[in-house]
């Protein structure tokens, strides 16, 4: 899984900076806004199912793959229905160039939404296959982007590599899955799987969408208050500040395969505490490295037009430490079936983040947006988790920090 994310990191930093320098800050901000909006729709279309499917595959791989196949059409329909109003609004309110980017991101995110097969390989600890497949998509995207620049084509052509980067991995993994498991699902079986996923995921969908919204509130508010240039600068800083979290994300995903399978609650809590002790120093190391190298890193990768983002990069590096630890508590709460709690927590956090981000962004622009992100991440990791299950997360944090064994 680390190798898969390393390839993604290459695409994030080098290919994204390549595009950002080519199209400029304002247009890059429009592209970043489109990505943020369609990622929110993608989370809604998933109906909170990713963690449900992951949990099922760790216990019964064949059943998990049936669940994936049975719910593909459901995902696609939900995504298309939710995307239509946004596309219509863009058609009537933005210029032709921006519309091209929105359509490209819409199509690319659709393919990403349908690529549920990546969950299977992650759950089975076979992420080397994901690394190979994702590298094919990224290399194709990089080649197409290079071709656009080399041939001096208009920026609209950059939509083609955006689509190709997600289409190729989907096709490869889909074909491989057909060979891996050969089965036919009756209409009744498909309906049963869909009902199960709706029942299991509906309690998570509000939480997932709320997390997706509040994690992108800064971009949405900045687009409203300061325009696409501010969104472009903030997005560059955010991408760099969180680019290293693939390391902690991979460690957490791998560790939770065992934690989900653990039948003893005390042992599961001990493993979660140990995982915190692994993730925290890794997060601090990367955050400090990116904060100290903010200015030269932006200058090297993005050029002078993006240098105004360096203070934001430092602030968001601080926020990234807390966001890197967040998935541990989130998945542990899922292990304890705390879906309703996650829904309430996410709604409250979003209700807090929206006015806070708007107020601070209005006062200090994207600096205020970065500060609001730090506040939201700290509260989301600590206070908003500590009320669950008589302080289960608080006890895990205490055990991790004091090096005590969980009881």
pLDDT for position 390: 87
The number of domains in the chain is 2
Q: How much is the pTM?
A: 0.78
Distance CA 240, CA 211 (A): 20
Same domain, 155 and 221: no
* Distance in angstroms (rounded) separating the CA atoms of residues 260 and 157: 44
The pLDDT assigned to 407 comes to 47
Where in the sequence is the domain holding 362, given as residue range(s)? 215-407
With contact defined as beta carbons under 8 Å apart, do 346 and 312 qualify? no
d(CA 400, CA 156): 50
Residues 183 and 253 in one domain: no
Q: Is 305 among the domain residues?
A: yes
Q: Cα separation of 56 and 67, whole Å?
A: 9
Burial class (CB in 10 A: 0-12, 13-18, 19+), 24: middle
What local confidence, expressed as pLDDT, does residue 382 receive?
Answer: 94
Is 202 inside any structural domain?
Answer: no
Domain presence at residue 98: yes
Domain boundary among 188, 205, 229: 188
Tens-digit pLDDT profile for residues 39-82:
899 988 887 777 777 777 877 777 777 777 777 888 899 999 99
Residue 12 has pLDDT above 60, yes or no: no
Q: What is the per-residue pLDDT across 358-386, written as a single tens digit (0 to 9) for each?
A: 999 999 988 999 999 999 999 999 999 99
- pLDDT over 70 percentage in the chain: 92
* 297-347 confidence digits (pLDDT tens): 899 888 889 999 999 999 999 999 999 999 999 999 988 888 888 888 888
Residue 353, pLDDT > 80, answer yes
Average of per-residue pLDDT across 108-129:
82
Local structure of 1: helix, strand or coil:
coil
């Amino acid at each position: 899984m680390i190798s898969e994310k390393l390839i993604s990191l290459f695409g994030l930093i080098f290919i994204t900076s390549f595009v950002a320098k080519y199209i400029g800050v304002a247009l890059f901000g429009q592209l970043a806004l489109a990505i943020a909006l369609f990622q929110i729709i993608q989370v809604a279309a998933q109906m909170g199912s990713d963690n449900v499917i992951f949990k099922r595959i760790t216990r019964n791989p064949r059943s998990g793959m049936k669940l994936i196949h049975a719910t593909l059409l459901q995902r696609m329909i939900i995504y298309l229905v939710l995307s239509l109003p946004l596309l219509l609004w863009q058609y009537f309110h933005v210029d032709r160039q921006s519309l091209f980017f929105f359509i490209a991101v819409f199509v690319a995110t659709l393919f990403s939404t349908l690529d549920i097969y990546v969950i299977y390989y992650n759950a089975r600890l076979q992420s080397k296959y994901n690394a190979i497949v994702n590298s094919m998509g990224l290399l194709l995207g990089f080649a197409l982007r290079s071709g656009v620049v080399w041939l001096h084509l208009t920026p609209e052509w950059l939509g083609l590599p955006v689509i190709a980067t997600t289409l190729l991995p989907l096709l490869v993994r889909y074909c491989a899955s057909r060979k891996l498991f050969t089965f036919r699902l009756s209409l009744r079986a498909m309906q049963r799987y869909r009902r199960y996923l709706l029942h299991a995921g509906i309690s998570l969908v509000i939480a997932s969408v709320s997390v997706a919204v509040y994690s992108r509130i800064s971009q949405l508010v900045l687009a409203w208050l300061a325009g696409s240039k501010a969104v472009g600068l903030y997005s560059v800083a955010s991408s760099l500040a969180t680019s290293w979290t693939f390391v902690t994300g991979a460690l957490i995903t791998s560790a939770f395969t065992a934690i989900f399978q653990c039948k003893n609650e005390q042992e599961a809590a001990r493993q979660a505490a140990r995982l915190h002790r692994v993730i925290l120093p890794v997060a601090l190391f990367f955050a400090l490295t990116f904060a100290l190298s903010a200015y030269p890193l932006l200058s090297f990768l993005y050029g002078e037009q993006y240098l105004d983002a360096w203070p934001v990069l430092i602030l968001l590096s601080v926020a990234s430490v807390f966001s890197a630890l967040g998935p541990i508590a989130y998945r542990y709460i899922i292990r304890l079936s705390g879906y309703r709690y996650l829904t309430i927590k996410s709604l409250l956090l979003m209700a807090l983040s929206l006015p806070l981000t708007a107020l601070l962004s209005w006062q200090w622009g994207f600096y205020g947006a970065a500060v609001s992100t730090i506040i939201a991440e700290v509260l989301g990791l600590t206070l908003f988790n500590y009320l669950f299950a008589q302080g289960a997360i608080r006890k895990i944090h205490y055990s991790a920090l004091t090096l005590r064994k969980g009881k």
